[in-house]
Amino acid sequence: MNPLNLTERFTAAFGAPPQLIVRSPGRVNLIGEHTDYNDGWVFPAALDMGTVIAARRREDGQLRSVAARLGEEDAAPLTDLRPREEPGWTRYIRGVAALLLADGQPLSGADLLIDGDLPLGSGLSSSASLELGVATALLGLAGVAIERTALARLGQRVENEIVGLQSGIMDQLAVAGGVAGHALLIDCRSYAVRPVALPASVRVLVLDSAAPRTLAGSAYNQRRAECESAVGKLQAARPEIRALRDVDAALLAAEGWRLDPVELRRARHVVSENQRVLDSVAALEAGDVARFGALMVASHRSLRDDYAVSGPELDALVAIALDTPGVLGARLTGAGFGGCAVALAAAADAEAAAAAITARYRAATGRDGRVYVSAAADGVAIWENRAT
């Protein structure tokens, strides 16, 4: 990810050069899906694709934004942002500014030019990348530093309070805390983050199905409600249970009769997925990449069968990947309902595998899918700063 000639384009749009440029990565989750809002464990990595934002301070209290990839603009005074009333991408930008102001941050007005190379709406956390990038830019213009967990919580609040998506904090923590060459074992209850080095012998493939998904309009919130209902019923047996993170396979086997069939399947996925995350990290640290790949496959089956968040394109993409030489494992990534899958491949075979998967998927589905050979990157940061 690079600045994408933002300085010149910003100057053309706003009449003066930017004072700072922020780079904010997307994220891919290697394993641990729909566990974050159940207080569980996840294992994402920040991507070398993401969002870039050029910014300049304004003294008139106006927040002006240009979304280069969409060819759209937005403007509003900081005193009247009304983010919940706005459609689409503007809700995220106005929402970040509104919550920062509500928290007492001394924001000025700003001009923002937003661009990037992250596939939009594909399950790679384009919204978290935008949220944290905008927050870092606005705070940078104000000369304010913020701790990374607090920055992640701010992004999650935008999703929960402004957009209406009851998501967990995985995406934002991965974008905020990414470490180059590492994935992150995240405890979504304590927010503890432990970087785990990715072996040099493997590469991460991001498989874009080109099947669109709209998360807030999907069954995402319904899945969360089903999990919460399961917790409520299991608390009759174990009052100390706070989330499905507190349930293990033995307890679910003994007390699962309390749940209806749908709740039981949802709980079974979360309980087994939490264990798969921990087992996967142990396998990776032991150098057993074949075991890691097998756990990715088990995760996809659980997401498909118990959590019901896959679909024909994602299933086809995963099956094609698993039938490709050099691929060790594959699964859907992100919330599902379309979007992307992720695969782990031997480094020597990664480029050839990416080309083969792309060609076979397009032939099988007619969709213009694409496979990226990606590297784990650092988290959101100010790339260039002339504001001080």
* Among 171, 208, 246, 306, the one annotated catalytic: 171
Q: Would you state the torsion angle of the CA atoms of residues 94, 95, 100, 106, taken in this order, to the nearest 10 degrees?
A: 10
Which amino acid is it at 200?
A
Q: Measured in Å, how far apart are the chain's first and last C-alpha atoms?
A: 24
Q: How many CA atoms lie within 13 A of 191 on its CB side?
A: 15
Q: Which helix (H) or strand (E) is 251 found in, with range? A: helix 249-255
The whole-angstrom separation of Cα 94 and Cα 149 is 21
Active site residue 171: yes
The whole-angstrom separation of Cα 184 and Cα 60 is 41
Sign for the pseudo-dihedral over CA of 358, 361, 366, 372 = negative
The whole-angstrom separation of Cα 308 and Cα 345 is 26
DSSP per residue, 72-90:
EEEEEEGGG--GGG--HHH
If one counts every other C-beta atom within 10 angstroms of the C-beta of residue 278, the result is 16
The whole-angstrom separation of Cα 239 and Cα 8 is 60
If one counts every other C-beta atom within 10 angstroms of the C-beta of residue 375, the result is 15
If one counts every other C-beta atom within 10 angstroms of the C-beta of residue 212, the result is 12
Strand pairing partners for 341?
Answer: 207, 332
Residue with tokens 């019923």: 233
If one counts every other C-beta atom within 10 angstroms of the C-beta of residue 323, the result is 12
* CA 341-346-351 angle, 5° bins: 70
The whole-angstrom separation of Cα 127 and Cα 279 is 29
Question: Which two three-digit tokens encode residue 190?
Answer: 């304590």
The whole-angstrom separation of Cα 4 and Cα 278 is 38
| Active site members | 171
